[in-house]
Amino acid sequence: MSDAHILEVRDLRKSFPVSTGAFTHSSGRGVAVDSVSFSLERGETLGIVGESGCGKTTLARMLLRLIEPDSGEMRFRGQDWLGAHGGELRALRRRIQMVFQDPIASLNARMRVGTIVGEPLAIHEPQLSRAERRARVAAMLEAVGLGGDALGRYPHEFSGGQRQRIGIARALILRPELVVADEPVSALDVSVGAQILELLDRLRRELSLTLILISHSLPVVAQLATRVAVMQAGRFVEFGPAEQVLQAPQNAYTQALIAAVPEIPA
């Protein structure tokens, strides 16, 4: 593994049982992710783009080990990510965090924002005093553009964009090295989504993060990505520098995605 690589993925595959008929007991397996391989360099933003159902979210959840692949290999900073268990798994997990698509569903409505954002600290850094944890949470909320008064409020008191900022604060509170953002702006208005993307890019630079940005929208990916992977039916059909993929696509599916993006009249 190169010193520049933070993550290496080789031949990752995941299938799920699929019923073949409403009135039969027979079933087959549908392949959601099919032999996906890539490497990720420290500090870059990889955009993974494709239509709904192409396997993007399944891939994201495997990268976080929220679900286990059928086969394949993942190495994080040279360590066997799939083979990690117990204390090793906990130590690695804090270095890889996720920003979820739905900022409402991903936040516990019964918990105050200070508790939500501070929960990872309570789990991974139990030696911190309550005052130290509160100070870390307040600083992170400030970093994502929310004031200290957010600590004692509940998620339903915030707008969709603000809730996504809370989700980002929770993902970053442990200062991870790799963040996977799965459709982080799809539930938001365009203008609010643009602000969230700008925030993610700023935090990537300030905190020396590596970012995987997953989206069905080429314009979203084009805003941040240094490299782009185009996914179709569980496979990467095109992969390369963002400028090359978006301006001179080689694959017919990528060309069709780009052609489908509406142009704004001059």
pLDDT of residue 116: 95
Do 108 and 137 fall into the same domain?
A: yes
Do 12 and 104 fall into the same domain?
A: no
- Any idea what the CATH number is for the domain that residue 244 is in? 3.40.50.300
Do 183 and 256 fall into the same domain?
A: yes
State which residues form the domain around 89.
1-16+31-95+177-187+213-260
Do 53 and 154 fall into the same domain?
A: no
Instruction: State the total domains in the chain.
Output: 2
Using the 3D structure, point to which of 175, 203, 228 is the last residue of a domain: 175
Do 121 and 251 fall into the same domain?
A: no
Domain for residue 171, yes or no? yes
Do 63 and 136 fall into the same domain?
A: no
Do 86 and 107 fall into the same domain?
A: no
Domain for residue 266, yes or no? no
3-class SS string, 72-118: EEEEECCEECCCCCHHHHHHHHCCEEEECCCCCCCCCCCCCHHHHHH
pLDDT of residue 22: 57
pLDDT of residue 2: 52
Domain for residue 120, yes or no? yes
Domain for residue 194, yes or no? no
Q: How far is CA 98 from CA 65, 168, 252, 266, in A?
A: 11, 8, 31, 38
Averaged over successive runs of 10 residues, the pLDDT of the chain (266 residues) comes to 80 86 64 94 94 92 94 94 90 91 83 95 93 95 92 94 95 95 89 93 93 93 94 96 93 91 58
Do 152 and 182 fall into the same domain?
A: no
Q: 180, 156, 154: which is closest to 168 by C-alpha?
A: 180
pLDDT of residue 24: 55
Domain for residue 4, yes or no? yes
Do 181 and 248 fall into the same domain?
A: yes
Do 76 and 6 fall into the same domain?
A: yes
